Each structure stands twice: as C-alpha cells, then as structure tokens.
Structure 1
Amino acid sequence: MGLNDAALALTISIAAFTDFREHRIYNKLLGPAFVMAIALQIYFKGWIGLRESLFGAFIGFLILLIPYFLGGIGAGDVKLLAVIGAFGGVHFVITSFLYGAIVGGIISVILLARRGALYSTLHRFLLFYLLRIKIDPQNKQADEAQKEKFPYGIAITIGTLLAMLLRM
C-alpha cells in the first residue's frame, strides 16, 4: 500500500465515521483531501497525474449528481466520490461506485427487511415500475421505509475499499 492508497483509506474511513455518527461528510475533510490527491498524483505521475486526477474527480462528481438532485443522497456523498476519483482516476472511481452501489443495495435490503417493509416495497416497485399500475399511497410500512435513510458514505467507503483490495 503506497502513500496515495494510505491517504485515500484514511480519508474514506474518516468520512464513513462522520457519516455514520452525524450523517455528514465534512468539507474540512474533503477539501484538503482533494488537494492532497492532486498533489500526490502530480508528484508521482507529473502532468499526466494531474489530468487523471481532475478527470477522475469530474467523473466521480457527475456519477452522483443526478441522485443528489433527486434527493437520494447528500452533497457530501457526491464530493466524497469526486475525491475518490481525484485519488484514483476514472477507472478506479467507476469501479468504486459500482461496488458501492452493490453494497448500498445490500444495506437497503437489510434495512427494509429489518423494518418489515421489504415485501411491500418490492410489491410497490413491481406494480408501479414494471406494470405502471396506480397503487394505494396509504401503505404505511413502505412510507416509513422511504423515510429511513442510511449514511451512503459507508457504502461508498466499502465499495472503494473493495476496489482497492481487488486492484492489488
């Protein structure tokens, strides 16, 4: 594990911790981490590293922009993925995102099952999205499950750690 990976691991670990405890990922963590990522990429790879870092950050930012605008995730999650892109480049940030999406899906299923709303949520999904049938909006279990949010920074962190491990 090099300096770049160690700095990334520390950054995402702190982000996951604050997201879990406070449901926030702080700019005072992500700002310096972004600058450090760019500096490390320039140091190790020169101008090519700068290009890879900035393009990775841009793609990481774009990937979560629509879910942010739809209210599914917070701004800290978007910025966290951008920082991950700055550390690892485009391929790495896409891989991290995909692994994180799988982990996030698993966490969501567990939370829905714990609330007793998994069946009703799947039922609503199938009826509404696949069959385009109007459904009863008074389903209290599904409404409560939609209100429950989990810190998605944890899923992003686990996905990034998986991407780091599988890259080695």
Structure 2
Amino acid sequence: METIFIGGGVFILWAFWTDIKARKIPNILNILFMISGLLYHAVISGWDGLAFAGKGFLLGFGIMLILHWMKAVGAGDVKLFGGIGIWFGMGMTAQVMMYSIIFAGVIGLLIMLWRRETIMRMRRVFWKLIGSVLWKQSIRSTETEHQQFLTFPFMTAVLPGVVFCYLFIT
C-alpha cells in the first residue's frame, strides 16, 4: 500500500506545483499518471489489478466529468482524478473526492470572507433562487456572471484531501 501512496503522491505533488504555478494541469502529466498506475497494477496484480484500476478510473473520471460540465472544475482536474482512481482505486478515490470538495468549500469561504464578498454573493444567489421560484427565471448563469465566479486552483484542495485521506487510512 505504501508504494501506491508514494507513486500516486509523486504525481499529485507534480500536479499541485503546476496548478499553482500555471493554473493548469498538463495533459502529459495526466497521461503519465494514468499509464504508470495501470502498469503498476498490471505488474503487481495482473488482471485483478487492472480491474481495480479501471473501476477507480470510472469513478474518479466520471464524477469529476459531471462537475466539469457544471463548470465547477477544469478539464485537467477531471483527468487527474482519473489517474487518482487508477492509482488508489474506488474506495480511496471517493474519499479523496469528498475531502477535496470539503476543503474546496472551506477555501472558497475563507477567500470570500477575506475579500468581504460573502454578503454580496449570498444576496445574488438568494435573488436568483427567488426569481427562479416566483417568476420561473433561469438559474443558469450567463458568461459574464460566470467570469465573476470565485476561482482558485483546485489542487489547493486536492492535496490536503489526499493527505487527510492517507492519514485516516494508514
């Protein structure tokens, strides 16, 4: 199990560094992450290892793809979670995803409080919800509204999510 954490951890740290530096996770990193995980599991456990990796990939990639369609995460994060799924399997991938989303919510709230935007954003959400219920207006945001959304590198939430998960598993 330690080999899995070391192997996957190297790629997660690499992704963290590139996401902080350039706000992007390169495709070459994600491809290497996935291929190395597949090779590792194939060599260690054969077909059972590939099945383990495949299930993890489907969970990590699939759920993050839905979040990407909702414009909550970038495409690099989707591919990265495919790699996390391959290396760590379904169980740990689900936990890492849950912890990462919790950390992302906390980080987003802290940023909003720091910028003192919390009340203004909450009012905007409240009036959008009221408008959608009473006047059947669309809740979907326009492109200009989407550009005003609070964004930060998701890896700032994924890295602590992985560490937190690792500490509770071992």
Question: Could you say whether these structures have the same fold, taking a TM-score greater than 0.5 normalized by the shorter chain as the test?
Answer: yes
The 8 Å contact of residues 108 and 150 in structure 2, kept in 1 or not, is answered as no
Deviation at 1:67, TM superposition (A): 2.0
- Correspondence for 2:153: 151
- Correspondence for 1:19: 19
Which secondary structure does the structure 2 equivalent of 1:151 belong to?
coil
Structure 2 residues without counterparts, runs of 5 or longer: 138-144
Q: What stretches of structure 1 move > 6 A for 4+ residues in a row?
A: none
The alpha-carbon distance between structure 1 residues 116 and 7, as it changes in their structure 2 partners (threshold 3 A), is: same
Q: Which of residues 158, 161, 164 in structure 2 aligns to 1:162? A: 164
Deviation at 1:130, TM superposition (A): 7.0
In the alignment, residue 160 of structure 1 is paired with which amino acid? V
Aligned equivalents of 1:126, 1:45: Cα separation in 2:
52
- Correspondence for 2:30: 30
TM score, norm. by length of structure 2: 0.85
RMSD: 2.2
Deviation at 1:161, TM superposition (A): 1.9
The 8 Å contact of residues 65 and 78 in structure 2, kept in 1 or not, is answered as yes
The alpha-carbon distance between structure 1 residues 76 and 167, as it changes in their structure 2 partners (threshold 3 A), is: same
TM score, norm. by length of structure 1: 0.86
- Correspondence for 2:142: none
The alpha-carbon distance between structure 1 residues 133 and 161, as it changes in their structure 2 partners (threshold 3 A), is: farther
Aligned equivalents of 1:105, 1:33: Cα separation in 2:
26
Deviation at 1:52, TM superposition (A): 0.9
Deviation at 1:45, TM superposition (A): 2.2
In the alignment, residue 164 of structure 1 is paired with which amino acid? Y
- Correspondence for 1:58: 58
- Correspondence for 2:82: 82
| CA deviations over 1:60-116 (Å, ceiling 9, x no partner) | 011111221222221000011110000011111111000000000001001111221
The 8 Å contact of residues 115 and 145 in structure 1, kept in 2 or not, is answered as no
Which secondary structure does the structure 2 equivalent of 1:64 belong to?
helix
Which secondary structure does the structure 1 equivalent of 2:78 belong to?
helix
Deviation at 1:127, TM superposition (A): 4.3
Deviation at 1:148, TM superposition (A): 3.5
Decide which moves more: 111-120 or 93-102. Answer: 111-120
- Correspondence for 1:10: 10
Aligned equivalents of 1:161, 1:145: Cα separation in 2:
31
